[in-house]
Amino acid sequence: QAALRRFTFKIKFKPLTAEQRERMFVTEALGGKADLLTDELRRRLSKLEQLCPGDYAAVKRQTDILATEFSPDEFLDQLEAEHRIKPEVREQRGMGFVQ
């Protein structure tokens, strides 16, 4: 928090909306082919409420480093992994029987 006081302007980047998540997924994982977005992919994407553009960029960098292409399912698996490590997501989860 102390570091934030040094900035004159504070900008908070909000997560993508469901529509934005789908649009980015079509662009990044499906090569712009919206007809490849299945109901199952759409359902999984809808659960990733804290997803940001940087998460898509991180997954794209993984494909670059690994010199491979991810299938749509693999791309979404990696997005889900990026989403799970976000503090906002970890804080929402209960621990054991305590919710």
Q: Does residue 1 fall inside a structural domain?
A: no
Q: Does residue 53 fall inside a structural domain?
A: yes
Q: Which residues of the chain have pLDDT under 50?
A: none
Amino acid 89: pLDDT: 87
Q: Does residue 49 fall inside a structural domain?
A: yes
Amino acid 52: pLDDT: 95
Neighbour tally for 23: CB within 10 Å = 14
Per the structure, the complete domain to which residue 69 belongs is given by 13-84
Report the predicted TM-score, pTM, of the whole model to 2 decimal places.
0.81
Q: Does residue 44 fall inside a structural domain?
A: yes
Q: Does residue 45 fall inside a structural domain?
A: yes
Cα–chain-centroid distance for residue 24?
10
Amino acid 12: pLDDT: 82
**Contact between residue 29 and residue 72 where contact means Cβ atoms under 8 Å apart:** yes
Length of the chain, please? 99
Structural domains counted in the chain: 1
Backbone Cα Rg of the chain: 16
